[in-house]
Structure 1
Amino acid sequence: MSKGRDCEELSPKSREIFEKIKKFFSPDPWKNPRWTEDGRICDSTTFYDLRKSDDRKSRIEWQQHMIGYVIGLNAKRYLRAHPSLEGLGISPVAANFIELLHLYEELDYQIETGDFVG
């Protein structure tokens, strides 16, 4: 697998996507933001720099795992009350994970295709 692209600064298009990502990272209990203007996010206690390819790939893979986990939990619960999975919808939690995954992938695409600042 080839090494992805890193960038020093988010381009205007990448910044628009990052602004959408920020809403998923509410302030900590002391009202401190869990993101920085330069493109980093804090998930639990770990900061991820979304300007760096390895960190973007890590977040994309994490979201994919979380989507599978949440859908699996929903399916187990659904099967307790129904004979099959027919009619199983997507929960709001899974929908949030899917939306954030889409934003991470969109940001990764912008940076990987050379959408750099000046």
Structure 2
Amino acid sequence: MNVAEPRQTTRGHVADRNRPFLEIEAFLDFICPCCLIGTRHLRAAMKRLTELRPEIELRVVWRSAQLLPNTPPAGEPYRVFYLARLGGSKAVAARRAQLQQAGRPAGITFSFDQNPLLPNTAAAHRLLA
């Protein structure tokens, strides 16, 4: 019996040397709507690749990328933050419409007014690390 030597991947996973391998590094912030959309598209692409090429082993290495590290520890009101960041209510409405449109193909409908607080994601990133 011939057993292939295992190989180490970025996160220490062991993979079979005889099997094609694809490791994907994905950077995200938990509060980022574009990251959520991208994650959904990544999962769909991985599912499709697995259907087309089941011999390829896929692994995702999730990387922390805190986009708003200066957010107060207790968070801050979304409305105040985005009005200041985007320059006014028309710009905020336009951005929300863009995100709704981008989210639809990924099966996402955003409820922007459901949570009035923009959280600091530092604790979540510590869990990912």
TM-score normalized by the length of structure 2: 0.27
Question: When you count strand as a share of all residues, which structure comes out higher?
Answer: 2
Higher relative contact order (CA closer than 8 Å, sequence separation 6+): 1
Question: When you count helix as a share of all residues, which structure comes out higher?
Answer: 1
Structure with max Cα Rg:
2
TM-score normalized by the length of structure 1: 0.29
